């Protein structure tokens, strides 16, 4: 089974987040006029936020991701290349002190944190604006599958962004210079459960969407070879085309507001 990655693959590869997460965050902001979902990817977090806010600006440095993001009438997707200045970004998002909620789902390890946090402090309303960041880890299935997954991760490790360590330690070492609002804090993330219905095809889509897999491919290294795919397939279970499993991941979140 040949595996390739396209932006639309990403849309179906990632888990959706529980509606309760967005309700809990929305309850922290007295106004719900404007939200910003940074590093939006396929827009899965943006459309969840949109259930509670009048407008969501969803940005990503990947033009391909923006083109294939999930449409929603209250979400405006914007491609924000790395060449954009901070002032341009502030204006695009809504201006100084305009944003009620900033969200970053499974993406903050990609960011220049110093620049991003400076931007967040400029656009958030003060003192009531909230920023929330979250991520999740891999799921486990059975000893054989998990062993293959661990070996695959080890092989892929040289091709990951170095800040992937923030994911590995559940954001426990992620710098987060914001005031505690009761949903995790710097050095002490809130641990959560995240479930997903996943087919074997979904597993392959998820693996093929990894940044490390695509970085390796650009360097001429195929991490998802036919041999590796068949190992995963065998460990997943019989009749893979019809077998869907409920997989559980450990997720983690930190939220805060600007320090005045």
The three-state (H, E, C) secondary structure of 78-129, written as one string: EECCCCCCHHHHHHHHCCCCCECEEEEECCHHHCCHHHHHHHHHHHECCCCC
Residue 11: per-residue pLDDT? 53
* Dist CA 99 CA 95 (whole Å): 8
pLDDT at residue 102 tops 80: yes
pLDDT single digits (tens) 170-208: 999 999 999 999 999 999 999 999 988 888 888 898 899
Mean pLDDT score of the chain: 91
**What is the mean predicted confidence (pLDDT) over 123-147?**
93
| CATH number for domain 7-257, candidates 3.40.50.720, 3.40.50.150, 3.20.20.70, 3.60.15.10 | 3.40.50.150
pLDDT reading at 242 higher than 70: no
Mean pLDDT lowest for which of 82-91, 147-156, 158-167, 244-253? 158-167
> Average pLDDT, stretch 135-149?
91
pLDDT band at 169 (very low <50, low <70, confident <90, very high): very high
The rounded percent of the chain whose pLDDT value lies above 90 is 74
As a whole number of angstroms, the distance between CA 11 and CA 85 comes to: 28
Predicted confidence (pLDDT) per residue in 2-39, tens digit:
333 444 545 555 788 999 999 999 999 999 999 999 99
| Burial per residue of 77-96, b for 16 or more beta-carbon CB atoms within 10 angstroms, e otherwise | beebeeeeeeeebbebbbee
Per-residue pLDDT at 240: 56
User: Which of the pair, 139 or 25, is modelled with greater confidence?
Assistant: 25
Q: Does residue 129 contact residue 96 with C-beta atoms inside 8 Å?
A: no
In the structure encoding, which two tokens stand for residue 126, read together?
A: 């003060």
Question: Can you give the pLDDT at residue 162?
Answer: 77
Instruction: Output the pLDDT for position 198.
Output: 86
Write down the number of H helices and E strands in the chain: 11, 8
Angle, CA 85 vertex, CA 104 and CA 55 arms, to 5° = 45
């Amino acid at each position: 089974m040949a595996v390739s990655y396209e932006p639309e693959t990403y849309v179906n590869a990632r888990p959706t987040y529980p509606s309760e997460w967005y309700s809990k965050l929305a309850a922290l902001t007295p106004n719900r006029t404007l939200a910003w979902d940074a590093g939006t990817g396929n827009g899965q977090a943006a459309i969840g936020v949109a259930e509670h806010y009048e407008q969501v600006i969803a940005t990503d440095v990947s033009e391909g991701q923006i083109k294939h993001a999930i449409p929603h009438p209250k979400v405006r997707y914007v491609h924000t290349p790395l060449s954009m200045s901070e002032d341009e970004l502030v204006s695009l998002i809504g201006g100084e002190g305009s944003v009620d909620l900033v969200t970053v789902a499974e993406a903050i390890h990609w960011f220049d944190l110093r620049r991003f946090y400076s931007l967040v402090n400029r656009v958030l309303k003060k003192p009531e604006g909230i920023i929330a960041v979250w991520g999740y880890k891999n799921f486990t299935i059975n000893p054989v599958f998990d062993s293959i997954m661990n070996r695959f991760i080890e092989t892929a490790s040289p091709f990951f962004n170095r800040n992937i360590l923030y994911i590995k330690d559940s954001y426990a070492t992620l710098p987060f210079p914001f005031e505690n609002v009761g949903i995790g804090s710097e050095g002490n993330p809130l641990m959560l459960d995240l479930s997903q219905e996943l087919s074997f095809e979904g597993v392959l889509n998820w693996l093929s969407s990894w940044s490390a897999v695509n970085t390796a491919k650009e360097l001429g290294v195929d991490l998802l070879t036919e041999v590796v795919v068949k190992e995963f397939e065998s460990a997943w279970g019989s009749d893979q085309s019809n077998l869907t499993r409920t997989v559980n991941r450990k997720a983690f979140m930190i939220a805060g507001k600007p320090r005045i």
